[in-house]
Every structure is written in C-alpha cells, then in structure tokens.
Structure 1
Amino acid sequence: MFRKNFIMSLMENILILFIIASVFYTSQSLQTQKTIYVPQGSITNIISQLHKKGYEVSPIDRYILSFLGQPQSGWVDIGAEKLNRVDFLYKLATAKAKMEEITLIPGETALLFFEDIASTLDLDASRLQHYYDQHADYPEAGIYADTYYVPFGINEEQLIAFLLKESTGQFQKISQKIYGTYDKKQWLRILTIASIIQKEAANTEEMPLVSSVIYNRIKKGMPLQMDGTLNYGKYSHIKVTPERIRNDKSRFNTYRYKGLPPSPIGAVSFDAIIAAIKPAQTDYLYFMKNRQGTHDFTKSYRTHRRNIQKAR
C-alpha cells in the first residue's frame, strides 16, 4: 500500500513539474519580426529552417505546431516583434500571407510604373522591364490600369507573370463580350486608340468624343496632331512644346506622321477601351482645352481657331 501511494504521489509530482515546465516554456518571450518568411515543407522542416535563421524555436515546438495547424508558406504577417512562444506558434499556424497593394494609374507608361513599384517592393526596375518585354503581347499597355494585391516578397519574374495573366484575362473578357473573339492584332489597335484617348480626354464623359475625333481624322487622311502621343515612355509627364514637336522624329509624333502611333503610349482603363471600341457618332475634327479644364469640340477649323484664342 505504501509503495502504491508513493508511486501515485511521484507521478502527480512529475505531472505538476511537467505542467509547470510547459507553462514556463510556452510563456517564454520570442523575438521575431512583423513579417517572416515561412519555407515550404513539413512542420519539422519549417521549425528547422526557422531555427537556422535565428529564431529561438526547438524540436519541441513542432509538436505544439502540429496541434495548432500547418502554417502557410511564403511571407506571412505575424503582426508583432515580440510574442510568447505559444502566441508565436499560433500566429505562425494561422497568419495570412502579407500582401502589397500596387496601382497602375490610367495613362502611365510601363517604364515609370516599373520604377515606382521597384521602389515600393524593393525590386529591380530593369528586370521588371526585361520580363515584361520578354512576355508581354504589347510593347505598352499590356498591363491593365488597375489596383493589384501581390504577395510580399514576390520577385520580378513572378510579378510580371501575375500582372500579365490578370491583364490578359481582362482584355479577353472585354473582347469576347463585344467581338465574340480575342484577336491580338485587332486588340493592339484598340489599345493604341484607347491610350491616346486616355491621355487626351479630360474626363470619362469626353472619351467617346475624343475617340470620334481620332476615327474621323484617320478616315479623312488627316494627321492626328495630338500632344498625348508624344507622352510615351520616359516622356509620360513631360509637357509637349513646339520645339519637341519639331525635333521628335519618332512614329509617335502624330504632327509629323499620319495614322496611329506604332503601339500604345500608356496604360488604359476600361472606359478608354470602351470609348475606343464605341466612339461617339460625331463629325468633330478638332478639340481645344478651355478655361474650365475640359474641351471644346468642333468640326470647323475656323471655330477651332476661335476656341484657341479664347483659351489664351
């Protein structure tokens, strides 16, 4: 009887010590980062890799983590830099991928967009441009103007692949709905017209009117003579001056060359695409920005000249 009581008492003491040790172990503070990278693989591999990277985790933690759940691989948002062990492991098991928001503004060129997101996401702008040139269907406007959410830590090739896939999906959806098909050659023309509309129109209401001017001038064999076509590439935000018009010998200079530029001049929005596909039915050939910041449209060159004088 004495022996039985002794063994039971010993086991109770061991259990109490185990509980105390467990509480002490799991309540220990761990230094972490708000965002950490979780490698792919088993929980054992995750714990091992985190330990190699300096996190104070041990083989015991794989048992606790197995109970809490399988962590999501990639960059995850832990949310704090100091947690007790059990909170850290719980966060590890339940944390969602950290996402970054990037926005391509309608009218912006790929060159400046890549420079901006390279700075935001700590990437290489030249590598972004390289992968875009390698995989995009269009020299410009291959990425649809929109806001995107991308995983933190994404590399240049992955980012371009994602943006092009999402954008092509949007283009195909619009084209299929209107034309019943998606033809890249036809879509290049649509994107080119849409990109000019995007640069020239003061607002979405004007877009179909600007579109009508483009189509009317092309139909009559008139040069477009639109400043926006010279805001390509690095010139996206550069004011077009008479000197620039005289000296720019590229096909984007629609004062020098008739017809459309060889490719789009910037990213386009849904409204610009629809305006390019469905221009307003007008006989307008000219438009001039007025003092209110919108445009006066006319079919008469004489009236256009008067509008220029009024604007001045």
Structure 2
Amino acid sequence: MNDKALTIIKWIFDIVLIIVLSFMYYLNEPVNSPRVIYIPEGSIGKIITQMHSKNYNVSKLDIFLLRIFGSPQSGWIDMKTTLNSRWDFLYKLTTAKAALQNITLIPGETTYIFFDQLAEQLRLDRDTLKKEYALQTNQIEGAFVPNTYRLPMGITEKVVIRVLLNESNLQMKKVSQKIFGLYNEKKWFQFVTIASIIEKESANIQEMPLVSSVIYNRLKKGMKLQMDGTLNYGQYSHIKVTPSRIKEDTSTYNTYRYSGLPENPVCNVSFNAIRAAIFPAKSDYLYFMRSKKGTHDFSCNYSTHLDNISRATK
C-alpha cells in the first residue's frame, strides 16, 4: 500500500474518530428539565419542538435519536432528577412513567381545604401552593372544577396549580359556550358565586333549582339571604355556623349582616350547581328548612317557615 493510500485511510479514520467523539460528547451533554414533565400526544418532531420552546437543551438531531430509542410515551414522565445526560434524558422519555395519584376535589369544597389535600397527598408545600394560586389567577375562590384528577408524584407547586387551572378553565369555557355561545369570565363567576351558595345549601341535586329560586326571589325583594352556607367559606368549610359566629363574622360572606351576594364564591362548584344558578326553578319560595329526612321544606311565607322549623326541631 503506497503512502497516498495510507494518508487517505488515516484521514478517513481521523474523520470517523472526530464524528464518534463528537457524537459521544453530544450524548453526554447535560439536559436541564423539571423532574416531572408532561409529554403530549403527537409526532416525535412535535414533541422535540415543544421541548425546545420550553428551553430544554434539545435539537433536531434528537428527533433522529428518539427514532432509534423508540417513540416517547405521552403523559407524565418522572425524570428522577432535574439534570440528565442527553442519553439518559432521551431514554427516559421512551421508558419512564410517573407514579400517578388520584386527587378528588368534591363539589362544595373550598380552595383553602383543597390546598391542604394537595399538600398532603402530593407532598407539596401548602404556602407555595397558595402563592402560586395567587400568581396564576385573580379568582379568590371557585376557580377549580370539582373532579378526580390524576396527578404525578414529584410535580411542583407551580405546575400543579397551572394544570388544575388550565383543565378547569377549559371545562368552564366548554359549558359556558354550550349554554351562552361564548365565555365571559366576569359574568361566569357571578353565576359561580350564586352556584357556590346553592352547592353549600342544597341537600341534593334535585333541590338545587329550588334553592336557586329562593336566592333570586330574596334578592329581588331586597331581603338578606341569611344563609348559613355562605359562612362555610375558606377554613370554615366544615365548621358548624353558630349564633356567635353570625354575630362576630364581619366578612362579606356573612349574609345575615350584609345584603346581596358575597363578593366572591364560597367554594368550588359542580356544573349541576352552575346550571341551577343559570336556570332557577320558577317559584315564589322565600324560605327553606332542613327536615328530619335530610331534605328541605320550602315555603313562601314566614309563618309556614316557622311551622317547618318547629317540626324539624321537635
């Protein structure tokens, strides 16, 4: 073999070596990401493009590499750490899954209590949850839709609030557009405020339109609502309303003290309560009293209401 051939071979070898070393260096580059990330459904190219838009250190070459590793799994992925080599990062995208936890927000529950639940079940910091909520929405209460959410262990406070608000907002818009043909946030949360009282006061779904009619009838007549449920706000969600509490509470939630509706919803509400707030029953009822059966007796005048109270307390 002559010198020219040897030179060409050496040149090719050097080029291959450089390529291999560069490739190895590329695979060992660090990739920063949250510990838990969400992978949407879609093509590999779409996934990489989305990650790049979130400032993950990925490139078009990773589209080719992922085709070798396999297709990424859609859903929540637990990366175990926030810093991985590119090799580990791409491999985990195709193999890892996050442990999911069912979190159920029941209709009528307050955000205050829900923060306690999220903090305990997902091992998060309650104060940080509260801070993120205030940063991400201007609604003091009622911004979450009661539902069972599957959330990953390891998710951050910022992301969990964003996910819950986004999913809730999408559901609210969908229902509003179905009923009204559009979504007006201010108008919608006026109904949420009424619905939150309905949620707290009703014994069952069937009663909701009747409770709604009482609220509208009393407001129309300029009567104070005088409903205990409005005082089950925030941390008082499950605390029995007493005469001393009615006397001492100076918040706008106290409908014994103030006329009209509270300034904000009392709790997070179901769509059944929302529909009742939008479509109240047609009635002349102004009062209702919980009977011994657990449901309510409705009445149009105070004397009948007193008789209902007497029967319920005997």
Instruction: Give your verdict on TM over 0.5.
Output: yes
CA RMSD of aligned residues (A): 2.6
Query: What does residue range 35-54 of structure 1 map to in structure 2 within 5 Å?
Result: 44-45=27-28
Task: Encode CA deviations 1:82-127: one digit per residue, 9 max, x unaligned.
Answer: xxxxxxxx99954544322111111111111011110110101111
Task: Report if the CA contact (8 A) 1:76-1:98 is conserved.
Answer: no
CA distance in 2 between partners of 1:122 and 1:43 (Å): 35
**1:43–1:70 CA contact under 8 A, matched in 2:** no
Structure 1 pair 155–48 and aligned structure 2 pair: CA distance change class (3 A): closer
> 1:44 and 1:185 mapped to 2: Cα distance?
50
Q: Aligned partners of 2:202 and 2:304: how far apart in 1?
A: 20
What one-letter code is carried by the residue in structure 2 that aligns with 1:207? M
In structure 1, the partner of 2:146 is 145
Distance (whole Å) between structure 1 residues aligned to residue 93 and residue 220 of structure 2: 63
Instruction: Determine if contact 1:71/1:95 at 8 Å carries over to the other structure.
Output: no
Matched with 1:52 is none
Q: In structure 1, what residue type is equivalent to 2:292?
A: R
User: Partner amino acid for 2:157?
Assistant: E
Partner of 1:168: 169
Task: Tell me the residue number matched to 1:74.
Answer: 77
Query: Displacement, 1:257?
Result: 0.5
| C-alpha contact 2:79 2:92 (8 A) present in aligned 1 | no
CA shift for structure 1 position 43: 11
Specify whether residues 48 and 202 from structure 1 end up closer, same or farther in structure 2 by C-alpha distance, changes over 3 A only. Answer: closer
TM-score w.r.t. structure 1 length?
Answer: 0.72
Change (3 A) 1:136 1:240: same
Q: Report the CA distance shift for 1:45/1:270 in structure 2 as closer, same or farther (over 3 A).
A: farther
Mapping of residues 25-174 of structure 1, within 5 Å: 44-45=27-28, 69=70, 74-75=77-78, 93-174=94-175
Map of 1:226 onto structure 2: 227
CA distance in structure 2 between the aligned counterparts of 1:162 and 1:48, rounded to whole angstroms: 23
- Assess if the C-alpha contact under 8 Å between 2:108 and 2:268 holds in 1: yes
Residue 240 of structure 1: aligned partner: 241
Asked whether the equivalents of residues 72 and 95 of structure 2 are also in contact (C-alpha less than 8 Å), the reply is yes
Instruction: Report the equivalent of 1:20.
Output: none
1:289 Cα offset (Å): 0.2
Distance in 2 of aligned mates of 1:115 and 1:303: 42
Shift of 1:195: 0.4
| Counterpart for residue 260 of structure 2 | 259
Q: Give the Cα separation in 2 of the matches to 1:93 and 1:216.
A: 59
Query: How many residue pairs get matched?
Result: 244
Instruction: State the TM-score, normalizing by the size of structure 2.
Output: 0.72
CA deviation string 1:159-191 (max 9, x = no partner): 101111111111111111111121121112100
Q: CA deviation at 1:151?
A: 2.5
Unaligned 5+ segments in structure 1 are 1-41, 50-64, 78-89
Query: What is the DSSP-based 3-state SS (H/G/I as helix, E as strand, rest coil) of the residue aligned with 1:287?
Result: strand
The equivalent of 1:19 in structure 2 is none
Distance 1:235 1:192 in 2: 17
Q: 1:69/1:44 Cα in 2 relative to 1: closer, same or farther (>3 Å)?
A: farther
Correspondence for 2:279: 278
Larger radius of gyration: 1
Query: Within 5 A, what are the aligned runs for 1:197-236?
Result: 197-236=198-237
Give the Cα separation in 1 of the matches to 2:156 and 2:206.
38
Kept after mapping to 2: 8 A contact 1:103/1:148: yes
Aligned to 2:251: 250
Structure 2: how far apart are the matches of 1:48 and 1:158? 19
User: Which residue identity does 1:152 align to in structure 2?
Assistant: M
Q: In 1, distance between residues paired with 2:118 and 2:214?
A: 34
Other structure's SS at 1:101 match: strand
Q: Which residue of 1 aligns with 2:191?
A: 190
Distance 2:145 2:93 in 1: 35
Residue 45 (structure 1) shift: 4.7
User: Following TM superposition, by how much is the alpha carbon of 1:135 offset from its aligned partner in structure 2, in angstroms?
Assistant: 1.4
Write the distance in 1 (CA, Å) between the matches of 2:283 and 2:113.
35
Q: 1:43, 1:266 → 2: CA distance?
A: 51
Task: Supply the distance in 2 between the matched residues of 1:211 and 1:307 (Cα, whole angstroms).
Answer: 19
